[in-house]
Amino acid sequence: MCHHGSPCAHRRRLLASLPAAALLAGLGLSPARADAPKVELPAPGPRDTCPVCGMFVAQYPEWVATILWDDGIAVQFDGAKDFFKYLDNLDKYAPDAPPRRSREWG
């Protein structure tokens, strides 16, 4: 256990003051901004399923991830993990899909 005045107690005080010092130095004071225009993506329907895991997407609205392809086809996922799995292995999850580019991600 650390005693008042010991090196351990000094280390704790130093570590406790680091967040305040970072704020005073200006780190984290400016909000992050994205200058990209807002994208309107289609909302998932009640029967839409994730192509990776098969779960119903609409049950998790705060986690939905969507790819909107150039041809207007929207593919929706129940979370970011499956979204990235899909993109990493299109041959497995969309073997019959024609080569296409993504118009929007969200």
Choose the most confident range, by mean pLDDT, from 14-18, 81-85, 100-104: 81-85
Cα Rg of the chain, angstroms: 23
Extents of the domains making up the chain = 1-33, 35-106
Residue 75 in tokens: 């593919």
Residue 71 in tokens: 């041809």
Average pLDDT for 37-53: 91
Nearest Cα residue to 73 out of 98, 38, 91: 98
pLDDT band at 59 (very low <50, low <70, confident <90, very high): very high
Average pLDDT for 35-60: 91
Q: What is the 3-state secondary structure (H, E, C) of the chain?
A: CCCCCCHHHHHHHHHHHHHHHHHHCCCCCCCCCCCCCCCCCCCCCCCCECCCCCCEHHHCCCCCEEEEECCCCEEEECCHHHHHHHHHCHHHHCCCCCCCCEEEEC
Least confident of 44-48, 70-74, 82-86, 101-105: 101-105
